[in-house]
Amino acid sequence: MAATKRLNSLDWSFLAGETRESMMHVGGLMTFTPPDDASPDFLRQLMEEVRQDSQVYSPWNLKLRHPNLLTHPLQSWVEDENFDVEYHIRRSALPTPGDERELGILVSRLHSHNVDFHRPPWEVHFIEGLEGGRFAIYFKVHHSLIDGYTGIKILARSFSSDANERDTPLFYLLPPAAREPKLKEEHVPTLEALWQGVQGQLESSRGAVKALMQVVQAARSHDHSLVVPMQAPNSVLNQKISRNRRFSTQQFKVERLKRIAKASHGTLNDVVLALCAGALRRFLHEQDGLPTEPLTAMLPVNIRPKDDPGGGNAVGAILASLATDITDPIERINTIIGSTTRAKEQLQGMSKSTILQFTSMLMAPMLLSQIPGAAGRVRPAFNLAISNVPGPETPLYFRGYRLDSYFPLSIPFLGYGLNITVVTYVDTLNFGFIGCRDTLPHLQRLAVYSREALEELELALGLTD
């Protein structure tokens, strides 16, 4: 068989977490507006092009060597020598004229099915039938193959910044971005180099343990600004889940959120957390399920170098309070800002290795909820994950069709039935709410309530016209 690629420990963990109910794939929903000269048969022509060109580049041609045993100790990626492009790229349609609700229902169903590990673990669906000749692209890929950072990087390379460009290659036809050549090093490590490596690992471990002890000491002294694992209250978000998903979206202008960040002396991400907190507070209150203690969130942190082309996973994490126990929106966002500031201060000065080890220690209690029957009975490590991923900063086009929005879909899993991911695109912030349909009914209301939380903050801060 062709060349292999080993999985790192984080990639492997996403395979280990895969079950019928906890599916470890991520995805995205993109909507496009047609150019004036759009062909009515555009998607039919596109599918004919797909069938004619079967070339595919890594990572899109990689499948697992041992698909029947995901946690095989020698698991690795190998090239699929019988790659079938028509299996991975499909065409769907909504009843014309389709609206955003019907699109959300279709995507919810598509995201509710496991990927096929006997093939490269990804799918793309071209969806036609939206009003005004618009169409959408939904894709999903297993998190063990690529992370959200890599997905955004590939997205940016797959489209064009030129509205008149009409022959941009499909994403899987693009060869991987070239890495900068490394300087030649000794092939055989010296004893000195080996000892330096051991010392580096020991220093990383000491740094991670020291940071964790600071968290524990903060808890003992009742300093609630530094969130402790398993400080999160039990809630409806942290129950046993089914495989059924519900997906909803929301889009805001970045400038609108930046005004709030400036007025509250926080960051754009702090405002994102405040909108999520306000929406969750109302959503849970309506179900008589709002805990008296504040919900806590796990926030992934990208720790790649700036010029890293992506691939695999390189993500740290911090924990922060959402202050959902606080009624006043200004006091709530101030509490959130204090919590995220303390958490980020801990990571300052840490090496990448130390951050990864510290993250592993923070996430370790989450394993308890993965024990059969434990979800909903043991205190969760946190209540939900909220991710903020930077996206393309300039408008993008696909064969002349303007990309209007990019909504991310992430992973609900056992004991953690809601995931909120946000992607910036040009001057917009695109929210993707994905959760268990059965344990969190009416999930689409979160999107509506996030807008109301934004309006509430603007009013409280005197930012309304």
Residues 281, 284, 288, 290, CA torsion sign = negative
CB atoms within 10 A of CB 348: 6
**CATH 3.30.559.10 spans which residues of the chain?**
4-173
Predicted pLDDT at 194: 36
207-393+408-460 sits in which CATH class? alpha beta
Predicted pLDDT at 182: 47
- Pick the catalytic residue from 143, 224, 285, 442: 143
**CATH 3.30.559.30 spans which residues of the chain?**
207-393+408-460
Tell me if the bond preceding 176 is cis, omega within 30° of 0: no
Residue 189 CA to residue 197 CA, distance in Å, equals 10
Tens digit of each residue's pLDDT, the chain (465 residues): 455 778 877 788 889 889 999 999 999 999 999 999 999 899 999 999 988 876 788 889 999 999 999 988 889 999 999 999 999 999 999 987 788 889 999 999 999 999 999 999 999 999 999 998 999 999 999 999 987 667 767 777 789 999 999 988 888 888 876 655 444 444 545 444 433 443 444 444 454 445 445 555 554 555 555 676 667 899 999 999 999 999 999 999 999 999 999 999 999 999 999 999 999 999 999 999 999 999 999 888 765 444 444 444 445 778 899 999 999 999 999 999 999 988 887 766 666 666 666 666 666 656 666 666 656 567 888 999 999 888 889 999 999 999 999 999 999 988 899 999 999 999 999 999 999 999 999 999 999 999 999 999 999 999 986
Three-state DSSP state, 369: helix
Rounded to the nearest 10 degrees, how much is the dihedral formed by the CA atoms of 72, 75, 79, 81? Answer: -20
Predicted pLDDT at 195: 38
Residue 151 CA to residue 98 CA, distance in Å, equals 27
Q: Is 118 a catalytic residue?
A: no
Strand partners, 136: 31, 127
Fold of 4-173: Chloramphenicol Acetyltransferase (3.30.559)
How many residues appear in the chain? 465
